[in-house]
């Protein structure tokens, strides 16, 4: 057997969440996300433009300060070459005796004082210091072998010796400028001047300027922040470290990289650097960001870097970002509020429209119903009119039928009436002839007896015609009648047949007043008793029972005979007009129909029973006249 998969399919989980709920669930986080996103974008844009403005301003600053550094350095450039002109120096180089040395020492001491340099000294071509401005000091260079110094090596070859380094004797950093002293195109010695550039640093610090100068090795030689001094701005491989250590340029100073926390290159010579904060107030994890602008210093392989703090700019950008986020939140809030209001208005409008629609529908329906009702009212009126007409026609036809029935009954009875009247007439002729003869003979007693008999006969004849006339007369629907009188009248009308049959009549009824016209009641009874007489034609001992009883304000009379009864096939047709089983001209088939109509017209009923003992019983039920109204019998 195949199963319908649909029968066992689980009902889908409650995925059908209302769209409104989805909106409520997702819109707030979405707005928050957009706020954060837009705030971040605002921050970045503001930062970008801020940095652009800052770098434009910084460009001028960079130029200014770089020129200052350049002029500070170039100030001493030509000083060593001046010694070439000094005869005592060339004399010393030619003849390095004590006298010449002292002369040059004194000269150099004076020159050094005037030029505010750190030291000025003269070396022979082997790199040994022959005379120096600091000859008086304990750590004087006098006699030292400085041939390993790069500036000496360059100068002795006729190249300009430029060198920043830490003094191997004093351990003091300085800028060394060396010049090969020539005579007749031949280098006979080297003049060196050592200057301190710390004045620049002090100037930067006073001006609250953050800057540094890095040398050809990328080592910071001058810095407004002492912590950055002698740090490398470039990555230091072990080989480079080894080379620099061997050159003793930085003496034994440990060289490290200047490791920014973050570095972002913006353009050639422009980048952002983030360093850990090193102020006293700074907490762990605090950092300082700078816009670093770098420019090469002319006549040297050095670079000057200007650092502009980004703290204020970042704060400003953060404010801008917050402003954007708040503005967006405000716009979003206004949009949501506007949308909600729009929805409320739309709902109200829809409700109003629905109400109007329902109203107009109701009105339409009422109009339709009213029209329907009016139409059905008209139809009802028409029907009532038609019914009334039909009733009228029916009543008329009924009257006609009653009349026709009566006439038919008269026709039927005419033979017996004629027989009934002929007999007394014949008797009257005989009696009247006899009476004449008795009078002629003077037999007055016999004559008067005959005359009395004649009288009786005439009375009988009068009664017959009277009842016939009463039967033929049109009746009244709202009449009253006496049951006893009606039964007597009916039996009288049928008197001859009753007598012929030797009918035994059992009377067991009350003489009640019934609400039916007397003539009509008699007519019904004549019909019923007449039919009973017909049915009992071949009955040797014909009997008729007239039994009455009271039923719910009405009176019921049962007219029962012991005749031949009614065939079952004929029973259902009894009250149909013109249904008859009587042969020839004997039956019209109107008697029961008329009788039932007359009973019904008087709010009564005529029914039939078929007793098991044989015969037929017709049951006539008629309303009674209330006893107060009943006329005394
Ligand atoms: P009609 O007497 O002219 O035939 P009715 O309407 O009076 O018309 O009677 C219809 C028929 O009902 C009769 O022909 C007869 O067959 C039957 N009928 C009426 N009354 C009796 C009765 N008491 N016993 C047997 N049959 C009857």
Whether 631 and 530 share a structural domain: yes
Q: Residue 631, class by beta-carbon neighbours within 10 Å (0-12 exposed, 13-18 middle, 19+ buried)?
A: exposed
Whether 186 and 82 share a structural domain: yes
In ligand 1, the atom with minimum distance to the C-alpha of 559 is 23
Residue 557 belongs to a domain:
yes
What is the pairing mode between strands 210-214 and 231-232?
A: unpaired
Strands (DSSP E) contained in 434-518 are 481-482, 504-508, 513-514
Residue nearest to atom 16 of ligand 1 (CA): 581
Gyration radius (Cα) of the chain, Å = 78
CB 213 within 8 A of CB 127: no
Please tell me the distance from the alpha carbon of residue 19 to that of residue 7, in angstroms, as a whole number.
Answer: 29
**Residue 484, H or E segment:** helix 483-493
Q: Cα dihedral angle (312, 315, 319, 325), rounded to 10 degrees?
A: 140
CB 199 within 8 A of CB 284: no
Whether 217 and 191 share a structural domain: no
Residue nearest to atom 19 of ligand 1 (CA): 531
In ligand 1, the atom with minimum distance to the C-alpha of 588 is 3
More confident residue, 629 or 365: 365
Q: How far is the CA of 400 from the centre of ligand 1 (A)?
A: 21
Residue nearest to atom 3 of ligand 1 (CA): 587
More confident residue, 555 or 582: 555
Whether 484 and 606 share a structural domain: yes
Tell me, what CATH number does 305's domain have?
Answer: 3.30.450.20
Tokens of 605: 């009923």
Overall average pLDDT of the 341-350 stretch: 92
Give the number of other CB atoms < 10 A from CB of residue 422.
Answer: 10
Q: How far is the CA of 554 from the centre of ligand 1 (A)?
A: 25
Q: Which of 531, 539, 597 to mutate to test the pocket of ligand 1 (most atoms within 8 A of CB)?
A: 531
Overall average pLDDT of the 89-115 stretch: 91
Residue nearest to atom 26 of ligand 1 (CA): 566
In ligand 1, the atom with minimum distance to the C-alpha of 408 is 3
Tokens of 168: 């191997």
Tokens of 97: 């005796």
What is the pairing mode between strands 554-561 and 605-609?
A: unpaired
Q: In what order do the strands lie in the sheet with 119-124?
A: 129-132, 119-124, 186-195, 173-183, 161-166
Residue 524 belongs to a domain:
yes
Q: Which of 409, 580, 584, 619 to mutate to test the pocket of ligand 1 (most atoms within 8 A of CB)?
A: 580
Give the model's confidence band at 104: pLDDT under 50 very low, under 70 low, under 90 confident, else very high.
Answer: very high
Q: How far is the CA of 508 from the centre of ligand 1 (A)?
A: 23
Residue for token digits 């503001």? 46
Whole-number Cα distances in Å, 577 to 68, 71, 501, 573: 149, 153, 28, 9
Q: Which residues line ligand 1 (CB under 6 A)?
A: 527, 531-532, 535, 561, 563, 565-566, 574, 579-582, 587-593, 616
Give the number of other CB atoms < 10 A from CB of residue 541.
Answer: 10
In ligand 1, the atom with minimum distance to the C-alpha of 561 is 23
* Packed helices 518-535 and 444-472: angle between N→C axes, nearest 10 degrees: 100
pTM of the model: 0.47
The residues pairing with 619 across neighbouring beta strands, listed in sequence order, are: 558, 607
What is the pairing mode between strands 543-551 and 504-508?
A: parallel
Number of domains in the chain: 3
Alpha carbon 326 to its chain's center: 32
User: Helices (H), strands (E): how many in the chain?
Assistant: 15, 20
Q: What is the mean pLDDT of the chain?
A: 84
Q: How far is the CA of 578 from the centre of ligand 1 (A)?
A: 10
Tokens of 594: 């008329």
The residues pairing with 193 across neighbouring beta strands, listed in sequence order, are: 120, 177
Residue 351 belongs to a domain:
no
Tokens of 59: 């460009």
Q: How far is the CA of 566 from the centre of ligand 1 (A)?
A: 8
Q: How far is the CA of 581 from the centre of ligand 1 (A)?
A: 7
CB 621 within 8 A of CB 599: yes
* Packed helices 19-74 and 311-440: angle between N→C axes, nearest 10 degrees: 170
Q: Which of 592, 593, 599, 609 to mutate to test the pocket of ligand 1 (most atoms within 8 A of CB)?
A: 592
Helix (H, G, I), strand (E, B) or coil at 177: strand
Whether 140 and 157 share a structural domain: yes
Q: How far is the CA of 511 from the centre of ligand 1 (A)?
A: 26
Q: What residues contact 404, with CB distance under 8 A and at least 6 apart? A: 590
Whether 169 and 92 share a structural domain: yes
DSSP track, 418-458: HHHHHHHHHHHHHHHHHHHHHHHTT-HHHHHHHHHHHHHHH
CB 470 within 8 A of CB 519: yes
Q: Is the pLDDT of residue 2 over 60?
A: no
Q: How far is the CA of 523 from the centre of ligand 1 (A)?
A: 15
In ligand 1, the atom with minimum distance to the C-alpha of 579 is 10
In ligand 1, the atom with minimum distance to the C-alpha of 412 is 3
Q: How far is the CA of 532 from the centre of ligand 1 (A)?
A: 8
pLDDT digits over 424-467, tens only? Answer: 687 788 888 888 998 898 888 888 988 888 888 787 677 666 65
Tokens of 305: 């870097």
Q: Is the pLDDT of residue 629 over 80?
A: no
**Residue percentage of the chain with pLDDT more than 70:** 87
Q: Is the pLDDT of residue 414 over 90?
A: no
Tell me, what CATH number does 486's domain have?
Answer: 3.30.565.10
Tokens of 541: 């001992």
In ligand 1, the atom with minimum distance to the C-alpha of 575 is 6
Please tell me the distance from the alpha carbon of residue 41 to that of residue 31, in angstroms, as a whole number.
Answer: 15
Q: How far is the CA of 587 from the centre of ligand 1 (A)?
A: 8
Overall average pLDDT of the 232-249 stretch: 81
The residues pairing with 622 across neighbouring beta strands, listed in sequence order, are: 555
Whole-number Cα distances in Å, 591 to 116, 201, 527, 528, 579: 170, 154, 6, 8, 9
In ligand 1, the atom with minimum distance to the C-alpha of 590 is 6
Q: Is the pLDDT of residue 7 over 50?
A: no
pLDDT digits over 39-56, tens only? Answer: 999 998 988 888 888 888
What phi, psi does 222 have (nearest 5°)? Answer: -130, 135
Whether 491 and 551 share a structural domain: yes
Residue nearest to atom 23 of ligand 1 (CA): 532
- Choose the final residue of a domain: 254, 276, 309: 309
The residues pairing with 624 across neighbouring beta strands, listed in sequence order, are: 514
DSSP track, 528-542: HHHHHHHHTTT-SS-
Residue 467 belongs to a domain:
no
pLDDT computed for residue 612 by the predictor: 92
**Residue percentage of the chain with pLDDT more than 90:** 34
Given 3-state DSSP classes, what are the helix, strand and coil percentages for the chain, each rounded to the nearest 5?
50, 20, 30
- Choose the final residue of a domain: 196, 212, 242: 196
Please tell me the distance from the alpha carbon of residue 79 to that of residue 108, in angstroms, as a whole number.
Answer: 11
Q: How far is the CA of 515 from the centre of ligand 1 (A)?
A: 26
Whether 490 and 611 share a structural domain: yes
Residue 454 belongs to a domain:
no
Residue 257 belongs to a domain:
yes
DSSP track, 43-86: HHHHHHHHHHHHHHHHHHHHHHHHHHHHHHHHTTTTHHHHGGG-
Whether 218 and 290 share a structural domain: yes
Give the model's confidence band at 276: pLDDT under 50 very low, under 70 low, under 90 confident, else very high.
Answer: confident
Q: How far is the CA of 596 from the centre of ligand 1 (A)?
A: 13
Q: How far is the CA of 564 from the centre of ligand 1 (A)?
A: 11
In ligand 1, the atom with minimum distance to the C-alpha of 527 is 7
Instruction: Report which of 474, 472, 470 is spatially closest to residue 488, judged by C-alpha positions.
Output: 470
In ligand 1, the atom with minimum distance to the C-alpha of 582 is 14
Please tell me the distance from the alpha carbon of residue 71 to that of residue 49, in angstroms, as a whole number.
Answer: 33
**Residue 549, H or E segment:** strand 543-551
pLDDT computed for residue 12 by the predictor: 47
Residue nearest to atom 27 of ligand 1 (CA): 531
Give the number of other CB atoms < 10 A from CB of residue 574.
Answer: 20
Give the model's confidence band at 1: pLDDT under 50 very low, under 70 low, under 90 confident, else very high.
Answer: very low
Whether 176 and 250 share a structural domain: no
Overall average pLDDT of the 96-100 stretch: 90
Q: How far is the CA of 505 from the centre of ligand 1 (A)?
A: 19
Give the model's confidence band at 304: pLDDT under 50 very low, under 70 low, under 90 confident, else very high.
Answer: very high
Q: Half-sphere exposure of residue 87, counting CA atoms within 13 Å on the CB side?
A: 0
pLDDT digits over 284-300, tens only? Answer: 667 888 889 999 988 78
Q: Which of 402, 526, 527, 534 to mutate to test the pocket of ligand 1 (most atoms within 8 A of CB)?
A: 534
CB 165 within 8 A of CB 245: no
Q: Which of 587, 595, 607, 610 to mutate to test the pocket of ligand 1 (most atoms within 8 A of CB)?
A: 587
Whether 147 and 204 share a structural domain: no
In ligand 1, the atom with minimum distance to the C-alpha of 570 is 16
Whole-number Cα distances in Å, 601 to 127, 395, 516, 594, 596: 167, 9, 9, 10, 9
- Choose the final residue of a domain: 196, 217, 250: 196
In ligand 1, the atom with minimum distance to the C-alpha of 594 is 6
Residue nearest to atom 20 of ligand 1 (CA): 531
Residue 18 belongs to a domain:
no
- Domain boundaries, position 264: 199-309
pLDDT computed for residue 13 by the predictor: 46
Whether 205 and 168 share a structural domain: no
Residue 409 belongs to a domain:
no
Tokens of 205: 């610090």
In ligand 1, the atom with minimum distance to the C-alpha of 580 is 14
């Amino acid at each position: 057997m195949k199963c319908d998969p649909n029968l066992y399919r689980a009902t889908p989980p409650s995925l059908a969440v209302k769209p409104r709920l989805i909106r409520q669930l997702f819109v707030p986080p979405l707005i928050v996300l957009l706020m954060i996103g837009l705030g971040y974008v605002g921050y970045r844009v503001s930062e970008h433009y801020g940095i652009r403005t800052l770098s434009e301003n910084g460009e001028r600053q960079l130029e200014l300060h770089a020129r200052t550094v350049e002029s500070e350095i170039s100030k001493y450039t030509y000083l060593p070459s001046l010694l070439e002109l000094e005869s005592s120096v060339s004399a010393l180089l030619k003849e390095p005796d004590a006298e010449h040395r002292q002369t040059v020492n004194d000269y150099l001491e004076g020159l050094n004082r005037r030029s505010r340099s750190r030291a000025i000294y003269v070396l022979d071509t082997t790199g040994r210091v022959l005379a120096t401005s600091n000859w008086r000091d304990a750590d004087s260079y006098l006699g030292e072998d400085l041939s390993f110094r790069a500036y000496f090596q360059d100068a002795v070859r006729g190249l300009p010796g430029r060198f920043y380094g830490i003094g191997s004797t004093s351990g003091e950093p300085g800028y060394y400028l060396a010049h090969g002293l020539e005579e007749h195109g031949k280098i006979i010695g080297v003049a060196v001047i050592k200057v301190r550039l710390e004045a620049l640093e002090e100037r930067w610090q006073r001006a609250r300027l953050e800057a540094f100068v890095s040398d050809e090795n990328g080592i910071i030689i001058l810095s407004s922040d002492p912590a950055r001094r002698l740090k490398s701005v470039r990555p230091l491989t072990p080989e480079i470290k080894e080379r620099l250590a061997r050159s003793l340029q930085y003496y034994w100073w440990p060289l490290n990289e200047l490791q920014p926390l973050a570095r972002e290159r913006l353009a050639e010579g422009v980048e952002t650097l983030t360093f850990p904060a090193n102020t006293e107030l700074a907490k762990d994890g605090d950092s300082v960001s700078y816009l670093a602008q770098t420019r090469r210093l002319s006549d040297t392989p050095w670079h000057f870097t200007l650092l502009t703090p980004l703290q204020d700019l970042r704060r400003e950008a953060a404010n801008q970002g917050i402003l954007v986020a708040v503005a967006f939140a405000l716009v979003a809030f206004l949009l949501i509020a506007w949308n909600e209001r729009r929805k409320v208005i739309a709902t109200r409008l829809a409700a109003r429209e629905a109400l109007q629609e329902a109203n107009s529908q109701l009105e339409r329906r009422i109009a339709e119903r009213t029209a329907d009702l009016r139409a059905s009212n008209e139809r009802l009126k028409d029907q009532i009119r038609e019914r009334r007409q039909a009733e009228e026609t029916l009543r008329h036809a009924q009257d006609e039928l009653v009349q026709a029935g009566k006439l038919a009954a008269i026709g039927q009875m005419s033979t017996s009436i004629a027989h009934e009247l002929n007999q007394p007439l014949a008797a009257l002729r005989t009696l009247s002839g006899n009476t004449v003869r008795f009078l002629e003979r003077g037999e007055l007693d016999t004559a008067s007896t005959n005359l009395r008999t004649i009288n009786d006969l005439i009375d009988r004849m009068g009664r017959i015609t009277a009842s016939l006339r009463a039967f033929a007369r049109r009746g009244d629907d709202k009449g009253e009648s006496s049951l006893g009188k009606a039964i007597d009248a009916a039996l009288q009308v049928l008197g001859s047949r009753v007598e012929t049959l030797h009918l035994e009549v059992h009377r067991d009824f009350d003489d009640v007043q019934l609400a039916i016209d007397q003539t009509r009641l008699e007519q019904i009874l004549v019909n019923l008793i007449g039919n009973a007489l017909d049915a009992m034609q071949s009955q040797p001992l014909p009997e008729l029972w007239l039994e009455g009883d009271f039923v719910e304000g009405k009176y019921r009379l049962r007219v029962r005979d012991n005749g031949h009864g009614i065939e079952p096939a004929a029973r259902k047709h009894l009250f149909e007009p013109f249904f008859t089983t009587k042969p020839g001209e004997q039956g019209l088939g109107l008697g029961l129909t008329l009788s039932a109509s007359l009973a019904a017209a008087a709010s009564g009923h005529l029914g039939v029973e078929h007793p098991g003992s044989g015969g037929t019983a017709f049951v006539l039920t008629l309303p009674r006249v209330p006893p107060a109204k009943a006329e005394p019998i």
